[in-house]
Amino acid sequence: MRTTSLLLLLCLIGLGTQSFNERDSSLSGSRTSLWPNGATREQAFFEKGIRDGVCLRWHSDGSPRAEGQYASGKKVGEWRFFDKNGAIDSSRSGVYESDHKISPLGA
């Protein structure tokens, strides 16, 4: 449900599928990157070339890979990581602060 809501939010604000250089300091707004096979790899928000906001990632087969948020380029809040079978990777999933996992999910 949460993933669906995040996807809907991203779709409503009009994502583009264009090539971009993440280190480009002029990059701001939502961006979509693709795997070589054309499947969506990542949908993320950037501010001056730095990830800032919702970030969704997929494996090359289209299955969910990760969902969470960035603040000034660092993972913050709840992050969920998934293996290729769709199961949550509990070793990586959890609550993050400044790019560091500080607790497991649901703690």
* pLDDT tens string 6-33: 443 444 334 444 444 455 667 899 999 9
97: pLDDT confidence band, cut at 50, 70 and 90? very high
Query: What span, in angstroms and rounded, lies between the C-alpha atoms of 101 and 87?
Result: 19
**Is 60 exceeded by the pLDDT of residue 5?**
no
Domains delineated in the chain: 2-103 (2.20.110)
Burial of 51 (0-12, 13-18, 19+ CB in 10 A): buried
Query: What span, in angstroms and rounded, lies between the C-alpha atoms of 105 and 107?
Result: 6
pLDDT tens readout for residues 34-88: 999 999 999 999 999 999 999 999 999 999 999 999 999 999 999 999 999 999 9
**Is 50 exceeded by the pLDDT of residue 1?**
no
Q: What is the pLDDT of residue 24?
A: 62
DSSP secondary structure of 74-95: EEEEEEEEB-TTS-B-TTT-EE
Burial of 93 (0-12, 13-18, 19+ CB in 10 A): buried
- Give pTM, 2 decimals: 0.76
